[in-house]
Structure 1
């Protein structure tokens, strides 16, 4: 009976052979095969060459998470490749590692802009809004007019009087927001990154401090948001939260107007905003 190939070893060898030795400062001469040598990967990963060789040969038992992270760095793996390495080596994804978001792709922004009657935002695991569309600006908050630090949903809900007054059920929204925020930050491995924000909000808002100390957790999921809009009056929106594929640090939240007439009125506000912006550019 033929022995099945070791999937971890096969994957490591495949990634190793794809790398260009010269780009890592290694000589490309006298090589019988492409890619890095095993001892070069071991050197980059700061592990024993023998141990790395055993991993490629399917010997030596399961590696530790630390070893897999070192190898992932040594092989310059992308985040999806690192996750696959952990699934092969340990049978589960790596622990979440939070990294600040640098922005979204133009493709994702075009998707947001295509929803002209549906407010939509992209937020980070620490609930900073990093992208939005015109409908979100006219219905919820004109994020473009705010400094980046003030585009945090928690700061807006608990520290912005206009946003707070617009919530028909502030107590319910506040409790939900804090519970979902706590869950998202923990899942993304960002518990340390939110320490300053939590301290700031606790000092500025007794409501936040009380809810945070309740230690409730929750999921964003789906639901209904009811607002008292300055122009539209009472408006009801159904919301859904989505993960951005390949970007575990980001979440897409879409708010769909329940009534068709509200959707048309939102479209009218978006067009007025666009016309005003065009007039400013022309002027």
Structure 2
């Protein structure tokens, strides 16, 4: 008796299809649950005497989100339909999703949030307190994609005025390859950016299918010739501490030792610290901390 070998391509396609189906059903269940837990009064609608539906009706969600009732019904029925980021954004606002729920919604839909939350669940008040207590040492919290989730005042003025950068652009890769003031502050720019591209390639190996990572890679390739050249080298390197030199616009040149302190698994957030490597850098960082405090007090 002979048996035919299974086509690995078709097997992989069936697995992807099954994963997509599971995600659609999870999305449908999540939408129903959230709809049933939002009261009409919360979104400015009258309850009415004959209401039996817990929470909002489907047609009410569709009306508030400016989508068709049939289309929204299909979404709650886990139909295989395309959902734009604009519609997901409207649904998140209509259903009063908090930052964690909004992130979950976009992940289930396999979409990139066009307006990521400015507050990360991993950045607790206690962790912000740690950042403040590390002053005058520059420190920040980053995730594995190099998004800067939080930072102290000294870090905020170390390479540029980080407060002036839109939250969605506070990403170490974007800043290192596309922000001119940030790039001008790095003493050994070519070496630093080549290392950053190698670290990003190594980190991305575990996130190849994630839309947010793919979107960042696409943007970097589109906006930076330096990134394209570094990326095409196919170099990889793991995360490690390193001595760095910066030209600060306020206090001059500083030399620091960079250390990553992981707050969970190595794919999660990390506390990044810059400890002065010599007495002059220590004095200059103290001055920078004072400048940052003065600017904050003056509301700059």
Q: Place the TM-score, normalised by the shorter chain, in its bin.
A: 0.5 to 0.7
How much does 1:138 deviate?
2.3
May I ask how many residue pairs the two structures share in their alignment? 183
Aligned equivalent of 1:172: 191
The aligned runs of 1:143-158 (5 Å cut-off) are 143-158=162-177
Task: State whether structure 2 residue 225 is matched by structure 1 residue 206.
Answer: yes
Match of 2:273, SS state, is strand
Aligned equivalent of 2:146: 127
The aligned runs of 1:59-208 (5 Å cut-off) are 101-187=120-206, 191-208=210-227
CA distance change for structure 1 residues 279 and 227 in 2, over 3 Å: closer, same or farther?
A: closer
Query: Structure 1: which 5+ runs fail to align?
Result: 1-98
How much does 1:169 deviate?
1.2
Match of 2:294, SS state, is helix
Residues 226-270 of structure 1: per-residue CA shift (max 9 Å, x gap): 112223222211111121136842122111111123222222222
CA distance change for structure 1 residues 219 and 126 in 2, over 3 Å: closer, same or farther?
A: same
How much does 1:188 deviate?
5.7
Match of 1:131, SS state, is strand
CA distance change for structure 1 residues 279 and 229 in 2, over 3 Å: closer, same or farther?
A: closer
The aligned runs of 1:215-230 (5 Å cut-off) are 215-230=234-249
CA distance change for structure 1 residues 126 and 246 in 2, over 3 Å: closer, same or farther?
A: closer
CA distance change for structure 1 residues 267 and 200 in 2, over 3 Å: closer, same or farther?
A: same
How much does 1:141 deviate?
3.2
1:245 to 241, 248, 264: 264
Match of 1:140, SS state, is coil
How much does 1:125 deviate?
1.3
Contact 2:250 2:288 survives alignment (8 Å):
no
CA distance change for structure 1 residues 201 and 144 in 2, over 3 Å: closer, same or farther?
A: same
Residues 143-170 of structure 1: per-residue CA shift (max 9 Å, x gap): 2222111101111111111111121111
2:250 to 224, 231, 243: 231
Match of 1:139, SS state, is coil
TM-score (norm 1): 0.59
TM-score (norm 2): 0.56
Aligned equivalent of 1:67: none
Contact 2:199 2:239 survives alignment (8 Å):
yes
Contact 1:126 1:190 survives alignment (8 Å):
no
Match of 1:253, SS state, is strand
Compute the RMSD of aligned alpha carbons.
Answer: 2.4
Contact 1:180 1:220 survives alignment (8 Å):
yes
